[in-house]
Structures are given as C-alpha cells and as structure tokens.
Amino acid sequence: MPSLDRIIRYGRGEEMPDLLLRGGKVINVFTGEILQTDIAVAEGTIVGLGEGYDAIDIIDLSDRYVCPGLIDGHLHIESTMLSPYQFARAVVPRGTTAVVCDPHEIANVLGMDGIQYMLEASEALPLTVFVMAPSCVPATHLETSGAVISARDLMPLFAHPRVLGLAEVMNFPGVLHCVPEVLAKLDASIQQGLVIDGHAPGLTGRDLQAYIAAGVDSDHECTRPEEAIEKLRAGMYLFIREGSTEHNLAALLPVVTRDNVHRCLLVSDDRHPADLMDLGHMDYSVRLAVQGGLDPVMAIQMATLNVAERFRLRNRGAVAPGYRADLIVLEDLKDFSVDRVFIRGELVAEHGKALFGAPPETPSVLPSVNISPGDLNFEIPVQGEEARVIGVIEGQIWTESLRLSVRSSAGLVMSDVDRDILKLAVIERHHGTGNIGLGLVKGIGLKRGALASTVAHDSHNLIVVGTDDRDMLLAVQALIEVDGGLVAAADGEILKRLPLPIAGLMSEAPFESVRTEMDDLLTAAHGLGSPLKNPFMTLSFLALPVIPRLRLTDMGLVDVNRFDFVPLFIS
C-alpha cells in the first residue's frame, strides 16, 4: 500500500497512477447504485474514482460491470480436497479474491501443525486466505481426534495478521453447560476483541439467547426461515450457505430484505471440485440469489462489503478510495460471468483461467493414517429385534433416527441390500487405539461393494460403508496404503481410489485431475447402486456428532439431541 502522502497526491491527480480502468459500470455496494465511472489504481490501492485521471496503463471497460472481489465468509478449504494453491487456481478465476477459512478439519488430524500448514501454504498466493482459529479440536468428547487444542494453544495464533477470530463454536451444548475449556476459548477471544463464529443448528429460545450472550454472533446452520429470523432478531449475522451437500440458499433467501441485508452473508462452507468447476464458487451463490429474485447489487453486497464489515476488513469489499484494488469485471449481472480478475491491481485471471503460478515452496505434512488392518472386525452380534439406524436425508447433513428390524445370520447382523440397510463402521486412525464404532445406515443405496473415506467430519477417522465385511476390509486396506483418501471396492477388487495424502484430506494434484478422479470414483459408486449425487460427501458427515440426529463415531452410536451415546439395539 502506498504511503499516505502518495495516496493523497494520486487521488488529487498530482501523480500518475499505475492503472486506470476506464468507463466501467461500477457497483456501489454502499448506496446500491450502478455508476459509470473511471477507477484509478496505484500500488495495489484504489486512489480515486471519477473523470480526469490518467495512468501509465489504461484499460477500457465501457461495456463491462466492475464490482469488488468476492469474499467467502466461511469455508473449509480441506473439504474441497485441494491444496491451498490448487483451491486458489479454481476460485480466483471465478471472482473470489479472499476467503475466511476455518482449518478445523486439518487441525483435528494434525493439531497446531495442521493450522501452521494452512497458513504457510497460503502465504504467497494472490488469494488472501484469512483464518479463524478452530474452537473445537476435538469437536466433542464423543469421538477420538488427532489432537487437542486448548485455549492456551490458541493464544499465539491470535497475533497472526491473517487470524481474525474464533471459528464456529460447534460445541453449543458445551457453551450452555458452561464447560470450562469451551468458556476459556470464548473468554480468550472476547478479551482479544475478536469476532466469534457460531454453529447452532435448531437452537432456539432461551438456549439461543444464552449462546449469543456468551459472545457468539453468527450462524451458518440455519435451514428454516423462522430459525433465521429469530437469529437475526437476536443480533446474529446470518450466513446463508450453499455448498455441495448443504443447499440452504433457496429456503432462506425470502428472509433477506433491504432492512436486514447488511446482516446477511453468502458463504459456501463445503464445495467439491466438480461444483467449483461446473457451477463456481461465490459467483454461483450470487448468481443463484439473483435468479431467486434478489436485487443483484444486494446479492453482491452479501458476498463483499457485508463479509468485510463482519470480519473488520476495513479496506476490502468495496470499489472506493483507499480500498484494495481487488476487482472483478463482469459481462452482466444476471449470469454473473466473470471476465477478468484483478488483485491489488494486478490481472490474475482472465476468461476463466488463472494467470499465476505455484508458490516457490510447499510445506510438508506428516503421515496421518495409523491403523493396523489385522485388528479390524466388522461383526455385529444381534442383541434385539429392532436397531437404531441412521437415516440419510439427501441435500442435507441432518439425519433421521430410525427404528428398524435387522437382517441376521448365525446371530450376526448382515447388511440388508433389499431394504437399503447397510453396515457402517468408523475406525480411529490417529493414535492406533483400535477403536471401531459399528452401526447401520439407510439411504446410501449400495447393492454391492463398499465405500470408504478418511474424510469424516470432524475428527476425520476412517469411515466405511458396505454390503459385506470382506469388501469393507479391502476398502480400508486400500486407504491405509496411500495414507488416506476415498475408495470404492467390490467383489474383492479396488474399483477406483483417490489418494489424499495431505492429512488424508487434500491432494496436491491439479484441481482438474482431482475432479476427473472424483468423477471416476462417483461413477464407480453409482455403478454399485448408490442413487446419491455424491455418496462420499454424504458419508463424510455421518460421523459428525454435532448435527442432529443420529451419528456414528469411533466410540459408538451418538444421539446428538441427547449429546450422548445410545446402544445400537433398542431394548
């Protein structure tokens, strides 16, 4: 950024700026107007708008719209399965110039080393990667994570210039029951004057009031309009999520009005490579909102200025003097097709292609799968006529708690393909404890074979579902060999495998290759009978014991509403 005296001279026209974007139709997110004007840029900063400026380099944009670079206010880069560099290659050409990420996925595997990896791997990218310090490592006491991060561990992170606050406080029961370590993290963040993100699906009434009073002032888990309105009225920022599995934008868009739009943000949370390539990133959310009837300028505001103001990013999120020259050039405001992307006044993407290379160095990551296949046993003895079965709801990460009779043979539970009730196992992969949680799931739809993954929110133990024990074991062994990833197996053969050697969560391969391999993997899964759009994404949330209703961890079956373990069989 130029010195103050030079900014003033540039702005007054006394010194010539580096770049002039001439005649574009500029989106003013402050007033809601669209104004045709010139934009003068010097040393990466917008120094003035209006007529009469000259510059060393002039670009005519008279037939284009110009708006601030898009900012994703909440996502997990790990869930894209891409390294930070490959993620940047995928989203910057789509108009994303900054993200606020929560690295709790890799932190639950590698602890503070995982957070340090994300900071180092994103340091030299044109995309600005801001970080929220993970609040829930582990997410709960109901699973085995790879690490434990205390309030004291987080304190050094708060001094990092790209760490903005405390990430989603998923353990809302811990807040409400005043668990000392949970309160210590909240208190440390409050004392530092940092923002605190929430995660409170279905929380209402006095419990919601107490949760907000504890310092939490945002939520991205709303699925119903009445829930969103209650949280807005109580002072929360509403993060409207549109991810690969969670599709909440259409349901929540009617809540947004001109009176409350300044408290509403568009976020992605989780987005897979195929969706990034075919649909987009924040540009897709804006496009979807406009197609849903929202004013285009309001939609842009929800992915720019609102995010910047919520996270106190004072020089981002608008096209105005003194702001970073993070700008995107659009062909129109309906299809929201991004033509060019400027970051700090430098052209970094054009016509959908990134114009930047990889950073010079990439930090190394330690091996993360510690499982002995010889200790694995998926047998479930029959202990009653009815069992608790996890019911999958496609398009949502909520599950049902079903009571169903089971198929058995010789006193052991068998997968019931005809009724779509399959065996599910979660295997602890961090410390070699040998923990295996066993359960049943309905809705995956496999007719044969098994699917397995080391992406299993939030502790990311190894999760496997299958129609028979042999293929389940084969799938697990295949992931041990490559130190994590996704796999489909059937009839004693590995059909397709996608290695994710970065903590069992991410790949350093080009995002185009990851997408192709993922497409092949999904083709294999669909060939095994699953009707789900992405059964691996669905599978990854079945071990998450902070989203109602029924989940499976390496420690056993969890009723999230009770926040406690329950037996598989109903007595």
Q: How far apart are CA 570 and CA 386, in angstroms?
A: 6
Question: Which DSSP category does 360 fall into?
Answer: S
Q: How far apart are CA 528 and CA 479, in angstroms?
A: 19
Burial 93-127 (b: 16+ CB within 10 A, else e): bbbbbbbbbbbbbbbbbbbbbbbbbbbebbeebbb
pLDDT at position 540 is 92
Helices 511-527 and 84-91 pack at an angle, to 10 degrees, of 90
Beta bridge partners of 422: 441
Q: How far apart are CA 34 and CA 43, in angstroms?
A: 25
Which position has the token pair 């020089």? 315
Tokens of 264: 């509403």
Q: How far apart are CA 554 and CA 565, in angstroms?
A: 11
In 3D space, the residue among 534, 396, 545 whose CA is nearest the CA of residue 458 turns out to be 545
Q: How far apart are CA 247 and CA 506, in angstroms?
A: 23
Query: What one-character-per-residue DSSP string does 378-423 give?
Result: ---B--SSEEEEEEE-TT-S-EEEEEEE-EEETTEEE-BTTTTEEE
pLDDT at position 173 is 85
CB 556 within 8 A of CB 547: no
Q: What is the mean pLDDT of each run of 10 residues along the chain (571 residues)?
A: 90 94 97 97 97 95 96 96 97 98 96 96 96 92 94 95 96 91 96 96 95 97 96 98 90 97 96 94 98 97 98 97 98 94 98 93 84 90 95 86 95 96 98 96 98 95 97 97 97 97 95 96 98 92 90 96 93 76
> Identity (one letter) of the amino acid at 470?
R
pLDDT at position 59 is 97
Rama region for 208: left / alpha / beta (φ>0; ψ in -120 to 50; rest): alpha
Main-chain dihedrals φ then ψ at residue 242, nearest 5 degrees: -140, 95
CB 373 within 8 A of CB 480: yes
Tokens of 337: 């097709």
Alpha helices for 24-76 (secondary structure H): none
Give this prediction's pTM: 0.93
pLDDT, tens only, 169-225: 988 888 999 999 999 999 999 999 999 999 998 999 999 999 999 999 999 999 999
Strands (E), 186-263: 195-198, 218-219, 237-241
User: What residue segments make up the domains of the chain, in order of their start?
Assistant: 69-313, 373-565
Query: Which contiguous run of DSSP H or E holds residue 477?
Result: helix 469-481
Write down how long the chain is: 571
pLDDT at position 214 is 97
Q: Beta strand 485-490 with 493-499: parallel, antiparallel or unpaired? A: antiparallel
* SS3 labels along 497-522: EEECCECCCEECCCHHHHHHHHHHHH
Q: Beta strand 421-427 with 163-169: parallel, antiparallel or unpaired? A: unpaired
Q: Beta strand 218-219 with 195-198: parallel, antiparallel or unpaired? A: unpaired
Main-chain dihedrals φ then ψ at residue 283, nearest 5 degrees: -60, -35
Q: How far apart are CA 456 and CA 336, in angstroms?
A: 34
pLDDT at position 73 is 98
In 3D space, the residue among 33, 99, 22 whose CA is nearest the CA of residue 63 turns out to be 22
pLDDT at position 244 is 83
Q: How far apart are CA 3 and CA 245, in angstroms?
A: 45
Q: Mention every residue, 6+ apart, whose C-beta is less than 8 A from residue 357.
A: none
In 3D space, the residue among 455, 454, 494 whose CA is nearest the CA of residue 471 turns out to be 494
Q: How far apart are CA 442 and CA 366, in angstroms?
A: 35
Beta bridge partners of 60: 22
Q: How far apart are CA 92 and CA 206, in angstroms?
A: 42
- Residue 482: Cβ within 10 Å count: 16
pLDDT at position 419 is 97
CATH of domain 69-313: 3.20.20.140
Residue 62, helix vs strand vs coil = coil
pLDDT, tens only, 290-317: 999 999 999 999 999 999 999 999 999 9
> Identity (one letter) of the amino acid at 29?
V
pLDDT at position 200 is 93
CA atoms within 13 A on the CB side of 138: 17
pLDDT at position 571 is 76
Beta bridge partners of 75: 101, 269
- Residue 474: Cβ within 10 Å count: 23
